[in-house]
Amino acid sequence: MLINQHMKRIVDACYPKTNDEAIELWHDIKPVKFGTTIGWTAATVSLAEYQIPENSAYLLVLRVECYSYTQVAAAPGFGIFSPPPLGVAFWQYADVTLANVSYNLTPVTPIHVLCDSDEFLLAKGDHFLSLTATLTAPPDANARFIRTLVYGYLIGALVADKIGSGEPTYSTVGLA
């Protein structure tokens, strides 16, 4: 159900003039979910990664869900999903063919701004996209985990032209 709501949001953002145009836009959108679960340590880590296919014009990141939790029965907060850990995060991508060259797609911001929010972030096709975070130490010695889930949508030129594909996609250029 959430995917249909997101797809409707994308189509609505294109301001279709007719029902036929809305249907055409709907068929130019393909949902993609990706994410991971990692152990919480004080380090720079990738919370979510995705290889955008070369035949897709863009990946539109629409929603990011991130929470921390512990599976240690005696630990405080056992079984309760907590907000994202403290730290900073940013989206970055690398050219698939150029090793070790990556570009920041967004500025470095507090983690909760990017990791538990709705977005409208465009990333070009044929790139490797990563949500990178620098985390603080966990609050105690219990094993804690971070779960991140990204709701993304592969969109073609038809949708991208309507919602702003001409906007710059790099916030900074250079080696990250």
Give the SS3 label for residue 106.
coil
Residues 84-112 pLDDT 10s: 889 999 999 876 666 667 788 889 999 98
132 with 92: CB under 8 angstroms?
A: yes
Write the pLDDT tens digit of every residue in 133-146. Answer: 999 999 888 899 99
Domains of the chain in sequence order: 29-163 (2.60.120.680)
pLDDT at 150: 94
What is the reported pLDDT for 171? 46
**What Å distances lie between residue 2 and 6, 10, 85, 113, 151, CA to CA?**
6, 13, 25, 21, 9
Question: Residue 175's pLDDT is what?
Answer: 40
- Compute the 3-state secondary structure of the chain and give helix, strand, coil in percent, each to the nearest 5: 20, 45, 40
3-state SS assignment for residue 82: strand
The pLDDT value given to residue 47: 94
Nearest one of 113, 124, 106 to 176, comparing CA atoms: 106
| Residue 173 burial by Cβ neighbours in a 10 Å radius (0-12, 13-18, 19+) | exposed
Mean pLDDT by 10 residues, the chain (176 residues): 79 91 92 94 93 88 91 85 91 73 86 83 86 92 93 89 63 42
What are the distances in angstroms from CA 4 to CA 25, 29, 58, 82?
13, 11, 19, 27
Q: Which stretches does DSSP call E strand in the chain?
A: 29-39, 44-51, 58-70, 87-95, 102-104, 109-110, 117-124, 127-135, 144-155
pLDDT at position 93:
82
Q: Among 38, 48, 49, 51, which residue's Cα sits nearest to residue 115?
A: 48
Q: What is the pLDDT of residue 166?
A: 52
The pLDDT of residue 108 is 92
- pLDDT, residue 174, reads 41
